[in-house]
Amino acid sequence: MKKFLELFFHSVEVVCKLLMIVQVIAVSIVVIGRQVFSKTPAWGEELTLFALVWVSMLGSMLLLKNDGHIAVTAFDQWLPKKVIRALDLLSYLFLMFFAVMMVFYGFKLMELTSRNVMSALQIKSSYLYAAVPVSSVGMILVLLEKIYLLLTHKDATIE
């Protein structure tokens, strides 16, 4: 299972990098088109939006995996280790609830937008919003691993 998770998160990281490259190229084409040729390609803004949404959602999952989100640890030096572990567990459970809600409502959002088409890219809008449940499922995997490691008193994370 650990090998699968390593491969999954490595693949997500590669996808994020590729989407960032696509986003930079699309924005560059839009800016050059607007400033030099006074004409903006219709697909530029939609492609940029698509890449931005997917990178943001997948990136938030990767940040959670790597403990990259902002955390309030100002009082950790004065609190006992058991209290810190309990607070960590509580925060993971709250995040798990949030991720489950994001999966549920993300699918509802996809269903709601399944008949809409992004005019320039000619793809369903639900593909844009699929980033919500996809990244939320990844967050659930990360949180399950973190909760397991916390409860078994192991400090290692998925690398």
Scored b (16 or more CB within 10 A) or e, 51-71 reads bbbbbebbbbbbebbeeeeee
Reduce the DSSP state of residue 118 to 3 states and report it.
strand
Question: Model-level pTM?
Answer: 0.86
Instruction: Write the pLDDT tens digit of every residue in 48-79.
Output: 999 999 999 999 999 999 988 877 777 788 88
pLDDT greater than 50 at residue 105: yes
pLDDT greater than 50 at residue 157: no
